[in-house]
Every structure is written in C-alpha cells, then in structure tokens.
Structure 1
Amino acid sequence: MESAAALAKELGRWNEVSDFYRRASELYRECGRSQPASDALAKGASALEEKAPEEAIKMYDEACSLLEEDGKEQMAFDLYRTVAALYVKLEK
C-alpha cells in the first residue's frame, strides 16, 4: 500500500496518496503494530504538506494519537514538532 501511495504521489493523485497511506496504516494496526502504522500516516502527511496541508495536519494528528494510545508518547515528539512547523507555515 505504501508503494501504491508513492506511485500516486508521482502521478499527482493527491486523494489517492492519502487513501493508500491510510489503508497501509490500518493494515499495520490490524497486525498490532502501532509504530509502523503511525509511520505510514506520517509519510502520507509529509507527502501532502505542499498540496493538501489540511489533510497533512489530520494525518499527523492521527499518527500522534496512535502512538499515544499505545503508550509511546515519547516517539510522537518529532511528529508534534513537524505539525507545529506546518501550522506556523500556514500562519495558524
């Protein structure tokens, strides 16, 4: 799913980028792997920062939530910093 998302990014199909990374995250969660699930959402958010910043913010938020639910708040630090920088960039 992540490979499909990368291909969608190359083709400029931004809605599909989000969908594929979200699906990859869901599949990781089904396997009980919160860290890779969060990473998939973060990759998607990073890919969408320029073209769909609001969607990127949502994906970063979901990635942080996944880590927090699994008791891995310390691993969410970089994601919080990234989303804060995106908020500043968008002047929010």
Structure 2
Amino acid sequence: MESAAALAVELSIWNEVADFYRRASELYNECGRSQPASDALAKGARALEDAKPEVAITMYTDACLLLEEDGKENMVFDIYRAITSVYIKLEK
C-alpha cells in the first residue's frame, strides 16, 4: 500500500495518496503495530502538505491519536511539530 501511495505521489494523484496511506495505516493497526500505522499516516501527510494541507493536518492528527491510544505519547512530538508547521503555512 505504501508503494502504491509513493507511486501516486509521483503521478500527483493526491486523493489516492491519502487513500493508500490511510489503508496502509489501517492494515498496520489491525496487526497491532501502532508505530508503523502512525508512520504511514505521517508519510502521507508529509506528501500532501503542499497539495492538500487540510488533509495533511487530518492525517497528522490521526497519526497522533494512534500513538496516544497505544500509550506512546512520547513519540508524538515530531508529528505535533509538523502539524504546527502546516498551520503556520496556512497562516492559522
């Protein structure tokens, strides 16, 4: 799924980028792997920051929630920093 998402990034098919990274995250989460699930969402969000910043914010937020639900709050600082960066770019 992540490979398909990377290909969608190269082809600038932004809706599919989000869909593929979300699906990859869901699959990781089903296997009980919250860290890779969060990482997949964060990768998708990074890819979408310029093309679809609102979707990127949502994906970053979901990535944080996955980690927080799994008790890994100490791993969300970089994601919070990325969310803040997108908000600054949007002047919010």
Tell me the TM-score normalized by structure 1. Answer: 0.99
Shift in Å at residue 59 of structure 1?
0.1
- Per the alignment, residue 87 of structure 2 pairs with 87
Shift in Å at residue 25 of structure 1?
0.1
State how 1:31-46 maps to structure 2 within 5 Å.
31-46=31-46
The reply on whether 1:53 has 2:53 as its aligned counterpart is yes
Query: One-letter code of the match for 1:37?
Result: A
- Per the alignment, residue 11 of structure 1 pairs with 11
- In the aligned structure 2, how far is the partner of 1:53 from the partner of 1:60? 10
Unmatched 5+ stretches in structure 2: none
SS at match of 1:82: helix
Counting aligned pairs with the same residue, the percent is 75
- In the aligned structure 2, how far is the partner of 1:85 from the partner of 1:19? 23
- Per the alignment, residue 78 of structure 1 pairs with 78
Deviations 1:58-89 (A, max 9, x none): 00000000000000001001000110111011
Deviations 1:12-69 (A, max 9, x none): 1000000000000000000000000000000000000000000000000000000000
SS at match of 1:41: helix
Unmatched 5+ stretches in structure 1: none
